Chains A and B, each alone.
Chain A
Amino acid sequence: MRFGVVRFPGSCDEVDALLACRRFADAELLWHGDADLGGVDAVVIPGGFSYGDYLRVGAIARFSPVMGAIGDFARSGGHVLGICNGFQVLCEAGLLPGALLPNTGLRFLCRQVEVEVVTADTPFTRACAPGDRLAIPVKHTSGRYYAPPQVLEGLQAHGQIILRYAPGDNPNGSVADIAAVSNGARNVMGLMPHPEHAVDPLTGSTDGGRLFESLARHVAERLAA
């Protein structure tokens, strides 16, 4: 099982994401200008400021060659995890519902938050149980998840809300405290918190590792089947 971690101009968390993936599987970097994924088994789109966040966060990155390949990969059932800027890119690309708006407090936030696992029967959270609390840091300026009311109802009805900020710990004004959502088929997930920064006791929590572990195990089992 091999992860591919995308590097855009302006990415800054791709190395942490790569190292987090390598705790559970093989992993390599993918270049934004390449239109093929080099045969990787799952894709991680990391955090950062792809293309300088010009125009809107994620708006330009979605037109890069690698995103065309990731769209095809996702539509054929491939697993894609978007973290922070990666979540924003996936929303702009239409691979996830909704959009990320500037934080209600208009400030860059950088702190540990508690998130609650809402849906555990997904490839990204299967090492967790519903209601589990994970301590994972956030660091962003545009993390306010928004979806129009009818879309939000659909997300709730189909179990696509995967993580929520714990009560009282919503840092950015996200609707319904949403920290992570998936697409309908649950093979694409985006989240604002940074699980790749929470894989080593040195940085205060290893809870983020459970998401990488979930995905590595899920994809490895699928490959073996």
Chain B
Amino acid sequence: MKARVLIHPKEGILDPQGQAVERALPALGFEGVREVRVGRLIELEIDDPARVPEMCERLLANPLIEDYEVQSDYEPRSRAK
């Protein structure tokens, strides 16, 4: 089964990457954008998705500084041919 883990900086932790993106968008005419946070996405194929949260706690995320969100059973978007 496929699973996805979305990892992002915990609320309250300064995210300078997010800030840099937020400042860059208006320069291209994208106004009205706030609270940009940059994280990372891990996709994996796994036999037992119930184990993903434990993986996150122990390796994929650092729970002190990052929050994570697990999505399993998701339908990967088919690639345009």
Contact = CB atoms under 8 A, between A and B. Distances in A.
B59 A59 contact: yes
Contacts of A56: 62
A102 B62 contact: no
Main secondary structure of the interface of B (DSSP, over half): mixed
B65 A104 contact: no
A104 B20 CA distance: 10
B17 A101 contact: no
A106 B20 contact: yes
B16 interface: yes
Interface string A102-114: 1111100000000
Contacts, number: 29
B64 A98 contact: yes
A168 B64 CA distance: 27
A225 interface: no
B50 interface: no
B60 A104 contact: no
A103 B64 CA distance: 17
A146 interface: yes
A52 interface: no
B16 A104 contact: yes
A92 interface: yes
B72 to A, nearest CB: 20
B46 to A, nearest CB: 17
B60 A55 contact: yes
A28 B59 CA distance: 30
Given A56-B62, A98-B64, A101-B65, A146 B13 contact: yes
Interface string A70-99: 000000000000000000000010000011
Nearest to B61: A56
Contacts of A63: 59
19 contacts: A55-B59, A56-B62, A59-B62, A63-B59, A99-B62, A99-B64, A99-B65, A101-B13, A101-B65, A102-B16, A103-B16, A104-B16, A105-B16, A106-B16, A106-B17, A106-B20, A146-B13, A146-B64, A173-B14
Interface of A: 55-56, 59, 63, 92, 98-99, 101-106, 146, 148, 173
Given A103-B16, A146-B64, A146-B65, 7 more contacts: A55-B59, A56-B62, A101-B65, A102-B16, A104-B16, A106-B16, A146-B13
